[in-house]
A and B are shown apart, each in its own frame.
Chain A
Amino acid sequence: MEFISDFFDYVMNNWSHLASLTLDHILMVIIGLALALMVGIPLGIICFKNEKLAKVILATASIIQVFPSIALLGVLMIFFGLGFKTVVVGLFFYSLLPIIRNTYVGLREVDENISLAGKGVGMTVTQLLLKVQLPLSLPFLLAGVRVAAVIAVGVATLAPFIGGDGLGRDIVAGINTRQADKIYAGAIIAASLAIFADITIGRVQKRLET
């Protein structure tokens, strides 16, 4: 039970330092996710339109997903150098699969008759997608974002290994200097972030479904 008081002491004394690390962490995750959305949704749509491409795209994204994170970040470092940018690219890759897959599944789950109604009423393919199919698949997409966000928060703690910042900084420093309170601080805040993201996105998702 001692670690709890250690943890609080540490947080109290390093308040602004931790806040800036947390902010960094969130920023990396959000930018990574945003990029993944910008690329993943169109790829999901392409999968929906073309079954053959779907197989290729999903398989590729799955391979990226199972690549160990440390290794992936290492490879990215070779291309992008050290720092924030590389972490964001890594997070982008990790978020891609859940977003592509859920966009694709969500679009496929849209009731055929509703799509038929949209077509029959005179919507173009794009209008049908934007006004009917994508809005109706939004709950699925959000489920993907939720998974991606939780993964990204976790992977982002590895940032210090490739010169990034974020809560991983304290964890790594704590490990190196054998300072348990530092490790706890970084880990607990990161875990809270993941839980917070999970719950919040989950709520929005629920609201959309009803």
Chain B
Amino acid sequence: MIVLKDITKKYDNGFEALKNISLHCNEGEITALIGPSGCGKTTLMKLINRLNNPTSGSVFIKGKDISEIDPVELRRSIGYVIQQIGLFPHMNIAKNVGTVPKLLKWDKERIGKRVDELLNLVSLDPETYRNRLPSELSGGQQQRVGVIRALAADPSVILMDEPFSALDPISREQLQEELVRLQREIKKTIVFVTHDMDEALKIADKIVLMKSGEIVQHGTPEEILRHPANEFVEDFIGQKRLKRYQGIPPVSQVMVERPITVTPNRGLAESMRIMEDKKVDSIIVVDEKNHLLGYVTVFDIVKAYQNEDTKIKDIMHSFNTTVNPDTPLTEAIQLMNKLQVPYLPVLNEKGLLEGLLTRGSIVGYVGSEYHSIKEGVV
């Protein structure tokens, strides 16, 4: 549908904003361009409606090289939502939405009907809003108008440059959902620029990750989440999201949250009693502030029991390995296997004990997951 072939773009000041880009956007799909600020998303998007012309390479829409199409004609056939809304402040909402149909010389009645239809589509009552000026609308309403202005002449290709960026999280989510719902009806070929990964995951059929003028990875959200091409992609997706989507829980979801602990100055008999009480064969040693110090096993205590003056701190061992709450469970299990330890302490970034990952807790977690999977099947 939209094909970019070997595109480079050098701005007049010599800056190379796009380097050797080739890209395919399928018909009827939403392709999300995502990447850090300044990576060339807007530059790339503007190539598609010839607001920018490539330094080398070509862009094809429906197989046609667009450098052979008159730019004005081309732009009228492509919906465009610009990065900063860009409503015409001196025209009322109806005029704004009807801009392209008017340029295409539709008759008045048809334009009026289309405008009302579109306002209804995004839940703006035509009676109320038709005659208002953009400044008399909230930011979210303005962005809605920006979006339907792009839809007005029913173009098959729509370009949206961070259309929801100026919104508070709630309106943004609302508009994202509206877009997804809308897209099910209208089936447009949409190129959508964002720098919000959650937004891309939510609405896109394909995600294109960019970095300093190059495409780093292009695939379905599923592919990108499951097989991030490199560290940059992983970082961009974020560890939290990766784990959430990849279905591997972080250690914090599996660990025992209040492990049995003692302080280093406790006596042995006392500690023994706690262990008996809680039915554990070793105990974690922490100071008053919950800093991890080490551990003591029941055998250590038995060995030193005769000496009444012995304190826990005299016989404790320290840990060589700890994990943090965000460590993926798989990684922690591998670690436990390799080190042949029965448990691993979980420390937060301040070095305080958050919990304990034990074999028992892993079995419990896997068991409950298995359970829910079974229930899901039945």
Contact = CB atoms under 8 A, between A and B. Distances in A.
Interface in B32-89: 49, 51, 72-77, 80, 82-89
A119 B86 contact: no
A122 interface: yes
B99 interface: yes
A123 interface: yes
A120 B80 contact: yes
A12 interface: no
B188 interface: no
A117 interface: yes
Interface in B72-129: 72-77, 80, 82-90, 99-100, 103
Contact of B103 (A114, A123, A135, A136): A123
Interface in A76-134: 113-114, 116-124, 127, 131-132
Contacts of B72: 122-124
B103 A113 contact: no
B206 interface: no
A72 to B, nearest CB: 37
Contacts, number: 50
A19 to B, nearest CB: 39
Contacts of B76: 121-122
Nearest to B80: A120
Interface residues on B, range: 20 to 34
A123 B149 CA distance: 14
Contacts of B88: 114, 117-118, 131-132
Given A121-B100, A121-B149, A123-B103, A114 B89 contact: yes
Given A122-B100, A123-B103, A117 B87 contact: yes
Contact of B80 (A114, A121, A124): A121
Contacts of A113: 82-86
Contacts of B85: 113
A136 B84 CA distance: 17
Contact of A121 (B73, B89, B90, B103): B103
A135 B86 contact: no
Given A135-B90, A136-B89, A116 B103 contact: no
B149 A120 contact: no
Contacts of A132: 88
A122 B70 CA distance: 10
Nearest to B49: A120
Nearest to B99: A121
A127 B103 contact: yes
B51 A114 contact: no
A141 to B, nearest CB: 13
A66 B153 CA distance: 53
A116 B74 CA distance: 15
Contacts of B75: 119-122
A120 B99 CA distance: 11
A123 B89 CA distance: 16
A119 B88 CA distance: 12
B143 to A, nearest CB: 13
Interface of A: 113-114, 116-124, 127, 131-132, 135-136
15 contacts: A113-B83, A113-B85, A114-B87, A114-B89, A116-B82, A117-B80, A117-B82, A118-B88, A120-B86, A122-B72, A122-B75, A122-B103, A123-B72, A123-B103, A132-B88
Kindly list the 3 A-B residue pairs having the minimum CB-CB distance in the complex, ordered from nearest: A117-B86, A122-B76, A122-B75
Given A114-B89, A122-B75, 7 more contacts: A113-B83, A114-B86, A114-B87, A122-B74, A122-B77, A123-B72, A136-B89
